[in-house]
Structure formats: C-alpha cells, structure tokens
C-alpha cells in the first residue's frame, strides 16, 4: 500500500484563530488533503495506548462522529490497515487520513484540530517527521469571537485564560521541536498578505504553493467542509478573507480589555501585540491594597461593635 509522499502537517492553535481558513486554503492545493477536525487521536491513544489491537482501534476510530463527517468509505481504511503487518497505533490512524487523501486524489495528509495545540508532544512522538503550524491571533479578537457563540468560553476572563493556556502550551512544546518541525504564523499576517504567508508555510511543509489557495471561490461550498464548518460561526472562512472581522479596538469595552490584559497582557506583549493598559500591575496591586484596607476596616468595626456590646452588658 502506497504511503504518504511527505510528512503529515498539523495545524494547531487556540480556537477562533483562523485555522479553518488556513485548512481550506492549503486543502485547495493539489498535494495535501486536510479533513475536518478529528479530535480522536488523544482519546484513542488514552484508550488503546501503543499496544492496540489494530481491528479494535480501527473500528473505534471509524465509530467516532468526526470520522463520519469525512464521508469516506470504511473499506478504504480497512484496506490500508491490513496492508501493514503488524500496523502500529500511528499506522492505523494514518490509514484513515491516507484514505481521505486518496479519495481526493492527493498523496499527503494533514490535520486541523486546534485543541491539538495541547497534544504536540504526543503527535510529534507518533509521527517523528510531522510538521506543526501554530496559528496565533490577538487574544482579544479571539475572545470577541468566542463571546459571539453559544459554546466555548462565555466570559472575557475565561476566554483570556483559554487563550493564554493554549498559546503558551503550543509555544512551549512546539519550539522544543526546532524550526524544521514547528512554525508560528500570525492570523493577522495571513489575512493581510495571504500569498506571502502561504508561500512561507508551503516552504516549511515541503508543499508546492498553488494560486488556487488564494481563490475564495474554492472555499465556498467546499466539498470537504464538515457540518460544523458550514454553520454561521465559520461563514467568514467560506467567503473572501476579511481583515479585522473582529477588532477589539472598536468592539471591546475598556473594562473587558482591562480584564483580558490583567490575565494575558504579558503574553500579548511577548508576542508583540499592543496593550492598552501598561500599568495593570500597579493598578491591580492598588486595587488589592484597597480591598485589604476595606476588609481591615470592616474587621475593626466589627470588633468595636462586639466590644461595645460587651460593655453594655
């Protein structure tokens, strides 16, 4: 059975950072097939580990709802699984991706599951030649996007904590792999100069850049769209690229900016994003001192009241 013609490519990052857009761009090219989100790799590894029975593992994989969204015949997966003796855990998983690639006439496979930003060490170990593109977007715009949905973080503080945790994990684990396997891409740069950034990504991933990757019409109604990707919260990915579709400068209140930056402002600064509040450390300490002072005053008042009550008695 023919194996992949190049290393797998994983697109990772905090959700709402443009990963669907990048997936559809790369998938529009002639070499790599990137299906809808998988989610099943860490789950199946936790369940089966490295000593998995291939048939049980393949059956469990094909029973997952995300595999069902790929709309590929199970027989194509079984054919690849049984062509390797004995297949490893990675071989069985790869069989599904290669079957999908084969359905679309492409020799290579990739994955776009943002939360895999927390699973880089696992994936890098399973596929020692895998490449990782970490898509990073200004966390305040990410928060605005999340708050427009009915799922995910529902408060600014929750969104800030998620963005900080996801991006930090990706940078920490990805940079350990070195520049030959890990690449950071800014969402803002991708939408402002898509051709330049796609050429950079293709060079990193050993892919040929194709003009089709820039054609918005290739994304609209794309045959590989998963059901979720056809819903309203992914609509911008299916149309022409919109610069600043979310813009915290004009759409986020000063209070919310302050809350976000109090949690993740240091990471924003480390990544080169501007901050509105540069003295949040001093402000937070002052507010903390004020709260402590108020508590002390209440405590003293309470003690005075109790002493006065004892004196009355």
The alpha carbon of residue 222 and the mean position of all alpha carbons in its chain are separated, in whole angstroms, by 21
Number of other CB atoms surrounding residue 125 within 10 Å: 12
pLDDT > 60? residue 87: yes
Most confident range, picked from 33-42, 51-60, 220-229, 291-300: 33-42
pLDDT of residue 305: 45
- Give 294 or 180, the one with higher predicted confidence: 180
pLDDT > 80? residue 137: yes
The residue among 36, 78, 29, 27 whose CA lies nearest residue 57 is 78
Confirm if 37 and 65 have CB atoms less than 8 A apart: no
Strand partners, 112: 11
Tens-digit pLDDT profile for residues 244-283: 567 899 999 999 999 999 999 999 999 999 999 987 654 4
- Give 222 or 238, the one with higher predicted confidence: 222
Helix (H) or strand (E) holding 48: helix 40-48
- The mean per-residue pLDDT over the stretch 70-90 comes to 95
Confirm if 47 and 41 have CB atoms less than 8 A apart: no
- The mean per-residue pLDDT over the stretch 142-158 comes to 92
- Record the pTM: 0.84
Buried b vs exposed e over 131-153: b needs ≥16 C-beta within 10 Å? bbbbbbbbbbbbbbbbbeeeebb
Confirm if 142 and 273 have CB atoms less than 8 A apart: no
pLDDT > 70? residue 235: no
């Amino acid at each position: 059975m023919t194996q992949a013609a190049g290393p797998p490519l994983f697109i990772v990052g905090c959700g709402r950072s443009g990963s669907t857009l990048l997936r559809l761009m790369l998938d529009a090219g002639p070499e790599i097939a990137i299906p809808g989100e998988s989610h099943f790799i860490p789950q199946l590894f936790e369940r089966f580990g490295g000593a998995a029975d291939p048939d049980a593992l393949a059956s469990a994989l094909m029973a997952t709802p995300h595999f069902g969204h790929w709309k590929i015949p199970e027989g194509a997966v079984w054919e690849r699984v049984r062509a390797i003796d004995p297949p490893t855990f990675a071989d069985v998983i790869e069989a599904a991706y290669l079957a999908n690639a084969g359905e679309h006439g492409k020799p290579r496979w990739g994955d776009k599951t943002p939360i895999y930003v927390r699973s880089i060490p696992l994936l890098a170990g399973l596929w020692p030649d895998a490449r990782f593109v970490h898509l990073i977007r200004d966390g305040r715009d990410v928060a605005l996007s999340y708050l427009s949905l009915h799922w995910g973080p529902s408060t600014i503080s929750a969104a800030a904590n998620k963005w900080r945790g996801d991006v930090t994990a990706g940078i920490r684990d990805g940079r350990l792999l070195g520049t030959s396997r890990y690449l950071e891409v800014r969402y803002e740069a991708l939408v402002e100069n898509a051709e330049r950034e796609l050429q950079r990504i293709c060079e990193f991933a050993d892919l040929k850049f194709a003009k089709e990757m820039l054609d918005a019409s290739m994304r609209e109604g794309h045959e590989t769209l998963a059901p979720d990707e056809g819903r309203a919260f992914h609509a911008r990915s299916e149309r022409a690229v919109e610069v600043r579709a979310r813009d915290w400068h004009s759409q986020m209140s000063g209070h919310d900016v302050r809350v976000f930056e109090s949690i993740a402002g240091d990471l924003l600064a480390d990544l080169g994003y501007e901050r509105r509040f540069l003295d949040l450390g001093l402000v937070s300490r002052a507010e903390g001192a004020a709260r402590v002072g108020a508590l002390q005053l209440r405590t003293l008042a309470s003690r005075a009241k109790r002493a006065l009550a004892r004196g009355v008695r």
